[in-house]
Amino acid sequence: MTIINDRLLKALRLEPVDRPPVWLMRQAGRYLPEYLQVRAEAGSFMDLCRNAELASEVAMQPLRRYPLDASILFSDILTIPDAMGLGLQFVSGEGPVFERPVKTLRDIEKLPSPDVHDELGYVMDVVRAMRVKIGQDLPIIGFSGSPWTLACYMLEGQGTRDFATARSWLWRAPQALQQLLDKLVITVTDYLAAQAEAGVDVLMLFDTWGGLLSEAHYRKFSLQPMANIIAQLKSRHGCSLPVILFSKGCHTQIDEMLKSGCAGLGVDWRISIDAALRQAGGRVAVQGNLDPTALLAEPAAIRQIATEQFAAAVSQPGFIFNLGHGIMPQVPPDNVSCLLDTVHALSARQ
């Protein structure tokens, strides 16, 4: 099936585009008042994720407001650990918490390998509902958390600033940690392949906590599992969809990430977008990387920041305009409009 607005797909293939594609991480979410209404109707965050009609509605909300070039699956990166029986809850003021975190090697050995079409079938229902609503107008991005990022939450039991408990496994039980990551590689691969079958057009790996690791640990415990997933998607599932790899805080590892088999690299604001594009050297697309806090600035500052970033990257092949992480809940929706209107106005002057 042919996607009408295929700018993102062309950029990921490093093909010429009439203007750089634009989408924003967490473009659907808590900064939108209409999202908060649907979230209240759902009852809880996970109830929202499991309701295909409501979750697909949330995914559509930013598309009605803004001129975006892609939609992204509305879900959560922690659906896989939840399907493995860890008991995911979202606690007010604390975020995600697992009732039964992984504490021992025996816990790892007992972890089930969920049937992604069964335990996670609700995610594929959301993809299919999104495709009905979007039609062939825009590509849909599916995603998963990276094995290392999932392991951080599974070992820690909740989100923390430094994931000290999870990181201690690097030193005191690296073989057990590797066993956990190997299990997650299999399930994440199956999960992404199922999303592809359900109708997404692009896949993305969110490695939110890769930047906590040393360079050597990053390569072994974060990047290698992601490279294995990309290889297995092709070899085990025959999946040819482009994969965007986003490792937050890992810009010093770009040369290594280029070996992963990804079609695109997401980068954060710790590296300039032109430097990231130069380092990629036209081998993969580069997505990013405006600091999300810039959207808390006054409109004139947002226009200036967007203009500077756009000018630094627009002439490079494979540039995808995005943020360096997700939109923050306190961002005014009008500021997002200001950003996107500026980028589109700049594109029109090319």
Q: Which of 315, 316, 256 is nearest to 285 (CA)?
A: 316
CA 161 to chain centre: 19
* Choice among 31, 35, 66, 153 that is catalytic: 153
Alpha-carbon torsion, ordered 77, 81, 87, 93, to 10 deg = -30
The answer to whether 240 and 234 are in contact (CB under 8 A) is yes
CA dihedral 72, 77, 79, 81 (to 10 degrees): 160
Residue 135, domain extent: 7-348
> Among residues 6, 7, 26, 303, which one is catalytic?
26
- How big is the chain, counted in residues? 350
- Phi, psi of 288, deg, nearest 5: 155, -165
Catalytic, 65? Answer no
2 located within any domain: no
The one catalytic residue among 30, 100, 219, 270: 30
In the annotation, is 128 catalytic? no
Q: Among residues 7, 35, 39, 131, which one is catalytic?
A: 39
d(CA 277, CA 93): 38
| 1 within domain boundaries | no
Q: What gap in Å lies between CA 216 and CA 142, rounded to an integer?
A: 29
Asked whether residue 146 is domain-assigned, the answer is yes
Q: How many domains does the chain divide into?
A: 1
Phi, psi at 167, each rounded to 5°: -70, -25
- Please, what is the end-to-end C-alpha distance for the chain in angstroms? 30
The whole-number pLDDT of residue 90 equals 87
- Catalytic residue status for 76: yes
Residue 286 near residue 267, CB atoms below 8 Å: yes
Task: Tell me the residue ranges of DSSP E strands in the chain.
Answer: 71-72, 88-91, 95-98, 140-145, 202-207, 243-247, 264-266, 285-290, 319-323
User: Cβ(55)–Cβ(38) under 8 Å?
Assistant: no
126, part of any domain: yes
- Which of 6, 7, 31, 76 does the annotation list as catalytic? 76
Q: Are 315 and 274 in contact (CB under 8 A)?
A: no
Cα separation, 216 vs 223, whole angstroms? 10
**pLDDT by position in tens, the chain (length 350):** 699 999 999 999 999 999 999 999 999 999 999 999 999 999 999 999 999 999 999 999 999 999 999 999 999 999 999 999 999 988 777 789 999 999 999 999 999 999 999 999 999 999 999 999 999 999 999 999 999 999 999 999 999 989 999 999 999 999 999 999 999 999 999 999 999 999 999 999 999 999 999 999 999 999 999 999 999 999 999 999 999 999 999 999 999 999 999 999 999 999 999 999 999 999 999 999 999 999 999 999 999 999 999 888 888 889 999 999 999 999 999 999 999 999 999 887 76
Task: Measure the CA–CA gap between 252 and 256, rounded to whole angstroms.
Answer: 9
Question: Is 39 annotated as catalytic?
Answer: yes
pTM: 0.97
**Active site (annotated) includes residue 7:** no
180 in a structural domain: yes
Distance CA 313, CA 275 (A): 9
Give a yes or no: residue 255 inside a domain: yes
pLDDT given at position 283: 96
100: domain CATH number is 3.20.20.210
Q: Is residue 269 part of a domain?
A: yes
